[in-house]
Structure 1
């Protein structure tokens, strides 16, 4: 969402070019980098991506290093060579019948051979895509094992070119998730020996994989690929065979297919089951997005395997749905796909934490990514002490409670706000103006000397807050026009169309828009909160509760989700459930006091026509003195209103039952006369704070509640 261009196209909202994958807007410079957290295993510590340990074991060596006939091709003309004819077995050495180029698929090294006067071959380790892999020992460091890699067919021109490219790339790499090159000797690459198992080996053995393993593998793989992309290289051949779980980490191995970003020459590389379509490669070449596609296909295979072994699917089903959406976008058509490995990793991070939160029922928060933290609360009264209208607008209050569900237009103005795209030219300006009043913001936006997508979307939000839906729609359309054909795939446009639909009170359209946002950014909480709200408005309480619960378990600062859970409990006449939900909000939350007020109100409310029990009233009386009200005053007017409600409900319960099996209320015994005295006194205090008209009504109410023995 920017006017910045690269490779003939607008730079993506992520700040990266869609074609070459390079960042065009620099990240903010930080002068202090935090120390990395210590790694732990099984998700129990500070590093949520630490894998459980895989025993190294002894390497499995090949006893008969035969070369698959189906993979024998001429290194010059790429025609099949050495294939079996009738009863004649396949040939592993010979000459291409098409062009006469010699071929040989026999290992060049035997056990005991020494390369470079230093590396002694132990045996044949594996057959790579371009060369034999030999396990060897370092004669200078006998305890150190290494891997030697050479070209299978020395007459394979393409293979030798790719091998040199792999050597040249590896010599410059230094990343914990990429196999490390040690040196290059006599046409052989010398690499670290990675003791472990490839993901394909684990799949072949039908080893159970946790869903958390899959998301962690994805995180490590994307970290490695983003590192390569930042250096100007594409990996091109990601698949389970080329990722190895070693110890407590994952390493990407076999960089033989690596090529430079923008290099459209050379033979087709990569496994056909994992790479992007031939049509896409013909149109765009191999790109960062085609690398993303291979990661998506790899995670698709791993997720299917892990899902089959999942023993508690009901608990984690929502996260599996989020992961499925992430994979769907990763393998979607070119324009819809994640533009960079970093963008995909960002969303995978959210999905991974969602999975852990659902599994453990505890939060795994992360810094805001695509949405700014909002201080707005999706509540219109449940967390507030009732006003004087409770006593002045009707003869006798019935004790019922409004659940505080906002209207759709109110919610449109209170839902989270997207972070401005880093690449937008007015990003810094918008970041400094978010707290101003809507009308003032619109005036400043009109006076700003530049146009941008983010500026129009910010203006649309201001118009929505002011109830000016026609103007908001025009701004969203103008932003979409600036994005041209990319608008269809931009989640920010969908988000703002959802907000506009809410402002117009067309909840089904808003729900459809927010679900599209969820498809595009499945790791974000905001679309799930918005979907939960829409479902609640439509009366689909079970699904609304499911969305609110996911948001809350992932981040216990999301008070709007918690109030949603309380409202749903109230609609289900579950007083205890509503109070329990409100009590989950941490004391440090800015909405803690509102949640505690709401809990007292729920305890005192008539729900489904039923008065609260004596135990509920006792609980409310116990909580009331601890509420922070009136700026900390002991007898402020707000506290008096809530206290008056307490006396009123207690008196109604006493009138209904004729006895009070509970304890004292606010330190005094409960009697009919005592309650009437206290309620009368409280109403007269409220009358002193009211205007003349309402004061008379409150005095009348006080006279009505006086002891019956008085004259």
Structure 2
């Protein structure tokens, strides 16, 4: 049973977290409490201070809130939330965002509350009303000359008015599509130490039946909402209109004293001349506010009118405000409110949905991060092309995220705000790591880790690799591109959905033989998507690519939006040595999961196998910077950099493979080979000495050390022989950098390798080679 608040005059009760649900004060440690109890956030501070944007409630950069008609369709996802969640997490622990100080409530009151003539429209026929003529100002009250509907754009309340015997009005704060909002002091909670400020939202025109119905709807369900990123609705009261005596409803909500994201964007433009907010900051805002929308969707509610105007940044927290457009997903009758430039194009015909809410978030992110001129006209239903928006050209993953969020087909958008938030957070990690080079890995909820690293041949020391690498005395690790079938067996796999009916059966499978797995899965007692996908994987591993393709076609017909189908299409194409087909499939996966490094890695290697080194380099680099767990990306990036002549860049990447990694030695071996100069290279002697020092530090076993020593000495000998009479200072692996010294070194190394060989014929061949390379002597 809840305990009533002990604060004098407060009708609230204490929540389980110890705070009053009405005044927000913490329960005292002892029963005896005076009127000056210290607040948890500091004495004298308002409980949840913040204004509903500075001077605006529902205005946008492209116009006001516009009602439209249509049906409603949506779904919901279940999860629990609590208002006692941790506060101050803006930036997800990844971005430092400056605190926005709380504003003095009294300073937020409008000195002369008025609605600009350019924003005066009839609520019935949408024609302009109250406009001036012949240098005379327009009337703020009157009747529409087109349909006769009465209009009024004057606030109904003034300073000193007391509503419901409790809320004392200080003045008007803002105006918007659904009505005026006023700042008031709650007499039941305020005292001589601190005031509890609240906001009352009324109606611009009491004759607007749609607006009246919206207010009644807010009274029914919005008071039950309880999320730290959604403005709290405290009460619903009525007060007679001072002119007509007609009861007018007012919603009482918490006062949020920061700045709207729109105001922050306009301030940046005014102060710096830059027309967009920094991308990490914009993404952090999206990551912070999407859970609030997910909370609404979990409660079968739609926000409908998300835009930068309706998000307040106060101190270290964001708040969704202006809940006037919120509606139930099954509401088929009431008016639908939205804003041009943000509202999804299908809302007018299909009605609002979770997908249309996702669309508004994508559009808001675009407006905040791009120089998005014409977003209500030229780009009303599309994004600018990367050629016209440099940020989209530079940040491929962010561009793909915006494209999916604002896809013309609602079924192609993110299925939930939670899914969008997860991918947006992945994009944020990528953007930050690309900027400062600091990896920000995280365990993926969609993919397993790499099953093994691929493309590491340049780090292997075997007879086959050594022979393949040797090209007239020149070592070229970049010449070894990964084989597509090898890549298919190494790439990450989609995680199994533990809620799938067949997850338990899949966990019980013990065999790893692909043929036996195909037999068991084909006879599985449970039929489900996960079982079908596992069967596809088994068919691919068994070489039955036709059977895998047929299964994938059936899965795609059942769910065209399941990205896993395209992932396995890509694996099948690589297994069949068809990298161009794999590239198309993985490109589709990247569109669906722009925040997943695994998707970028798969597209990178497919691009490399099709000869597109530019795209492959860009993607490998982004994957490696964000997560050093993707070792294949490091080898791929080094491989291509070496091929295009960037040896320093290749070495820098290989040196970033950590010592704790299973591929650290392989990376250093590849670095030794990448360090070796060409025959005509300038500074080759210094390069040889550096390669020698690298190899000596490695501490390989005797056989690998010997084989790699031969490679280095042969390159050194070829270089010296290409420059008759030339010698270098220093010693290469203990041998003088001259033809005579290097020949003696090679002779001894070949003889050592012969002693290690168990093949008699190979041993003889190595001894013969040692004799052949030995310099001429008198003995």
Whether these two folds match at TM > 0.5 is: yes
Deviation at 1:324, TM superposition (A): 2.5
Task: Map residues 439-450 of structure 1 onto 2, 5 A cutoff.
Answer: 439-450=515-526
8 Å Cα contact 1:380-1:405 kept in structure 2: no
Task: Answer yes or no: is 1:601 the counterpart of 2:649.
Answer: no
Deviation at 1:595, TM superposition (A): 0.7
User: How far, CA to CA, are the matches of 1:36 and 1:103 in structure 2?
Assistant: 45
Task: Answer yes or no: is 1:344 the counterpart of 2:420.
Answer: yes
- Equivalent residue number for residue 176 of structure 1: 228
Deviation at 1:384, TM superposition (A): 0.5
Task: Answer yes or no: is 1:133 the counterpart of 2:184.
Answer: no
Deviation at 1:629, TM superposition (A): 4.0
Q: State the SS of the aligned residue for 1:382.
A: helix
Task: Map residues 69-80 of structure 1 onto 2, 5 A cutoff.
Answer: none
TM-score by length of 1: 0.82
- Equivalent residue number for residue 684 of structure 1: 751
**CA deviation map 1:368-395 (0-9, x unaligned):** 132221132231511101326847x999
**CA deviation map 1:449-478 (0-9, x unaligned):** 223333333333344344443233223223
User: How far, CA to CA, are the matches of 1:700 and 1:463 in structure 2?
Assistant: 49
Q: In structure 2, which of residues 612, 622, 625 is the aligned counterpart of residue 550 of structure 1?
A: 622
Q: State the SS of the aligned residue for 1:696.
A: helix
User: How far, CA to CA, are the matches of 1:353 and 1:335 in structure 2?
Assistant: 27
Superposed CA RMSD? 3.8
Task: Answer yes or no: is 1:627 the counterpart of 2:698.
Answer: yes
User: How far, CA to CA, are the matches of 2:206 and 2:87 in structure 1?
Assistant: 46
When residues 618 and 178 of structure 1 are mapped into structure 2, their CA distance, relative to the original with a 3 A threshold, is same
User: How far, CA to CA, are the matches of 2:86 and 2:753 in structure 1?
Assistant: 57
8 Å Cα contact 2:422-2:595 kept in structure 1: yes
Q: In structure 2, which of residues 546, 559, 578 is the aligned counterpart of residue 470 of structure 1?
A: 546
- Equivalent residue number for residue 113 of structure 2: 65
- Equivalent residue number for residue 10 of structure 1: none
Q: State the SS of the aligned residue for 1:112.
A: coil
8 Å Cα contact 1:211-1:307 kept in structure 2: no
- Equivalent residue number for residue 324 of structure 1: 399
Q: State the SS of the aligned residue for 1:362.
A: coil
- Equivalent residue number for residue 58 of structure 2: none
Task: Answer yes or no: is 1:195 the counterpart of 2:257.
Answer: yes
Q: In structure 2, which of residues 33, 52, 76 is the aligned counterpart of residue 22 of structure 1?
A: 76
Larger deviation: 60-69 or 342-351? Answer: 60-69
**CA deviation map 1:229-270 (0-9, x unaligned):** 122221111122211222233211011111222222212222
User: How far, CA to CA, are the matches of 2:518 and 2:778 in structure 1?
Assistant: 62
When residues 270 and 671 of structure 1 are mapped into structure 2, their CA distance, relative to the original with a 3 A threshold, is closer
- Equivalent residue number for residue 615 of structure 1: 686
**CA deviation map 1:505-540 (0-9, x unaligned):** 333333222222222222222232223223323333
**CA deviation map 1:343-390 (0-9, x unaligned):** 111111122222222222322323213222113223151110132684
Task: Map residues 246-395 of structure 1 onto 2, 5 A cutoff.
Answer: 246-277=314-345, 279-280=346-347, 282-283=349-350, 285-305=351-371, 320-332=395-407, 333-379=409-455, 381-387=457-463, 390=466
8 Å Cα contact 1:454-1:479 kept in structure 2: no
Deviation at 1:111, TM superposition (A): 0.7
**CA deviation map 1:66-86 (0-9, x unaligned):** 346765656xx7887976799
Deviation at 1:328, TM superposition (A): 1.9
Q: In structure 2, which of residues 485, 496, 499 is the aligned counterpart of residue 409 of structure 1?
A: 485
When residues 210 and 431 of structure 1 are mapped into structure 2, their CA distance, relative to the original with a 3 A threshold, is farther
Task: Answer yes or no: is 1:640 the counterpart of 2:706.
Answer: yes
8 Å Cα contact 1:183-1:190 kept in structure 2: yes
When residues 227 and 710 of structure 1 are mapped into structure 2, their CA distance, relative to the original with a 3 A threshold, is farther
Q: State the SS of the aligned residue for 2:411.
A: coil
Q: State the SS of the aligned residue for 1:335.
A: helix
User: How far, CA to CA, are the matches of 2:170 and 2:471 in structure 1?
Assistant: 93
* Structure 1: runs of 5 or more not aligned: 1-17, 28-34
When residues 95 and 553 of structure 1 are mapped into structure 2, their CA distance, relative to the original with a 3 A threshold, is same
User: How far, CA to CA, are the matches of 2:218 and 2:527 in structure 1?
Assistant: 45
Larger deviation: 403-412 or 666-675? Answer: 666-675
Larger deviation: 315-324 or 345-354? Answer: 315-324
8 Å Cα contact 2:370-2:391 kept in structure 1: no
- Equivalent residue number for residue 162 of structure 2: 114
Larger deviation: 566-575 or 665-674? Answer: 665-674
Q: In structure 2, which of residues 264, 285, 288 is the aligned counterpart of residue 217 of structure 1?
A: 285
User: How far, CA to CA, are the matches of 1:114 and 1:86 in structure 2?
Assistant: 37
Task: Map residues 653-668 of structure 1 onto 2, 5 A cutoff.
Answer: 653-657=719-723, 658=725, 660-666=727-733
Deviation at 1:497, TM superposition (A): 2.4
- Equivalent residue number for residue 591 of structure 1: 663
TM-score by length of 2: 0.75
User: How far, CA to CA, are the matches of 1:336 and 1:578 in structure 2?
Assistant: 39
* Structure 2: runs of 5 or more not aligned: 1-71, 239-248, 375-387
Task: Answer yes or no: is 1:527 the counterpart of 2:596.
Answer: no
8 Å Cα contact 1:563-1:582 kept in structure 2: yes
User: How far, CA to CA, are the matches of 2:714 and 2:303 in structure 1?
Assistant: 72
- Equivalent residue number for residue 43 of structure 2: none
Q: In structure 2, which of residues 94, 107, 120 is the aligned counterpart of residue 48 of structure 1?
A: 94
User: How far, CA to CA, are the matches of 2:622 and 2:290 in structure 1?
Assistant: 25
When residues 133 and 709 of structure 1 are mapped into structure 2, their CA distance, relative to the original with a 3 A threshold, is same
Deviation at 1:295, TM superposition (A): 1.4
User: How far, CA to CA, are the matches of 1:326 and 1:434 in structure 2?
Assistant: 39
Q: How many residues align?
A: 663
8 Å Cα contact 1:38-1:47 kept in structure 2: no
8 Å Cα contact 1:452-1:479 kept in structure 2: no
